[in-house]
Amino acid sequence: MDGILQTLFGKYEMFLLILVRTSGIFFISPFFSSQNIPNTMKVGFSFIVSILLAVTLDIDLNLLELSFVELIFKELMVGTIIGFISYVFFAAFYVMGQIVDMKIGFGMVNVVDPQHRVQVPIMGNFYYILAFLVLLSINGHHTIIKALIDSYEFLPVGKFVFSKNAADLLINVLSKTFIIGFKLSAPMVAIIFLTDLLLGILARTIPQMNVFVVGMPLKILVGLLLISVSMPIFYSITTGIFNRTVEEIYNFFRLFIEG
């Protein structure tokens, strides 16, 4: 314990820089940014991880030509971008849920997401919670911590530069969020469209039937049945999205290796 404290006092500048990068990730990434986790626990966990990294990493700040304030800003940007990439892919489930809600008749129903304290679509919140549980089951939070450790190999302290390639990567990641959300909701949209087509045919053949009264419960029933049927493949879908998240994080690291 005394050796760790001596190391920290001798490398307090490096420890602060590591703490800034770690905090940027833990306060944005899907698991660690949850509002259900107390802020004191987040700070404490960031502090512990930063201590472990400060003891194991060998960084000579004397070789850096930047001021300490510039280094803090760069490290905060690195941590924030990694956390943003890890979060934005899981926002695809909100996009998917919003489309599903509009098609099956839940478009006006919103719930309060306790994690981010905003109103979200009811099915989007349902899918996000399921994805959150899958993330824990596959130890996705461990992968995020591993990406933090590997970031110092690809992107040492003070080497971050926000280039056009980095901006293009973030825009591309954000666009993929909507693409994934649309693709995941495509089967539901197609089946509800066929249901609407069937109701239209019934309305023409049986004018006495009130299509609105029959159609709303029918679309809800069809939607819930389709959601139930698709649950067995949800694990593989979430795993694939998380693998894409990790891939994009390391693509961000490789921008600076290639440069």
Q: What percent of the chain has pLDDT over 90?
A: 0
**How confident is the model over 27-86, as pLDDT tens digits?**
777 766 666 667 777 778 888 888 887 777 776 666 566 677 788 888 888 888 888 888
Phi–psi pair at 23, nearest 5 degrees: -65, -40
Distance between CA atoms of residues 142 and 135, nearest Å = 10
In this structure, what token pair is assigned to residue 219? 């679309």
123 versus 178: the higher-pLDDT residue is: 178
State the pLDDT at residue 107: 62
Q: Where are the domains of the chain?
A: 2-258
Q: Which secondary structure element, helix H or strand E, spans residue 157, and what is its range?
A: none
Distance between CA atoms of residues 34 and 160, nearest Å = 27
State the pLDDT at residue 224: 82
Determine the average pLDDT of the residues in 213-234.
Answer: 81
State the pLDDT at residue 36: 63
**How confident is the model over 179-198, as pLDDT tens digits?**
888 888 888 888 888 888 88
Candidates 33, 253, 31; CA nearest to 139 is 31
**How confident is the model over 100-133, as pLDDT tens digits?**
877 777 666 655 555 555 566 677 778 878 888 8
Determine the average pLDDT of the residues in 79-96.
Answer: 84
Total-model pTM: 0.79
Length of the chain, in residues: 259
State the pLDDT at residue 112: 54
Kindly tell me if the per-residue pLDDT of 251 is higher than 60.
yes
